[in-house]
Chain A
Amino acid sequence: MEKVLFIVLAVLAIGTALNVIFQRNPLYSALSLIGTLASLSALYLTLHAQFIAAIQIVVYAGAIMVLFLFVIMLLNVPKTQPVVEKHKALGFLAIPFAGAMIAEAFYVLKTLADKKITPAFAIDTTDRAVGTTWSVGYSLFTQYLLPFEVTSVLILMAVVGAMVLARREGD
Chain B
Amino acid sequence: MIPLWWYLGLSSLLFTIGAVGVFIKRNAITIFLCIELMLNAVNLSLVAMSSYFGDIGGQLFVFIVMTVAAAEAAVGLAIIISIFRNRESLNVDEADTLRF
Contact = CB atoms under 8 A, between A and B. Distances in A.
Interface residues of A, number: 86
B8 A109 contact: yes
Interface in B21-55: 21, 23-27, 29-30, 32-34, 36-37, 40, 43-44, 47-48, 50-55
Contacts of B40: 36-37, 40, 60
A10 B55 CA distance: 24
Contact of A139 (B3, B37, B48, B60): B60
A130 to B, nearest CB: 5
Contacts of A18: 17
Interface in A138-171: 139-140, 144, 147, 151, 154-155, 157-159, 161-163, 165-166, 168
Nearest to B91: A85
Contact of B7 (A47, A101, A165): A47
Contacts of B48: 47
B81 A97 contact: no
B43 to A, nearest CB: 7
A116 B93 CA distance: 48
Contacts of B77: 67-68, 71, 162
Interface of B: 1-10, 12-21, 23-27, 29-30, 32-34, 36-37, 40, 43-44, 47-48, 50-57, 59-60, 62-64, 66-75, 77-82, 84-85, 90-91, 93
Given A47-B51, A101-B16, A166-B78, 18 more contacts: A21-B30, A40-B43, A47-B48, A47-B52, A52-B63, A56-B43, A64-B69, A64-B73, A68-B77, A71-B29, A71-B81, A98-B19, A102-B16, A109-B12, A113-B5, A131-B51, A135-B56, A158-B71
24 contacts: A17-B17, A21-B20, A36-B40, A49-B50, A49-B51, A55-B63, A60-B66, A60-B69, A71-B29, A81-B26, A84-B24, A85-B27, A91-B24, A94-B23, A98-B19, A105-B16, A109-B9, A113-B3, A117-B52, A121-B51, A144-B60, A155-B67, A155-B71, A159-B74
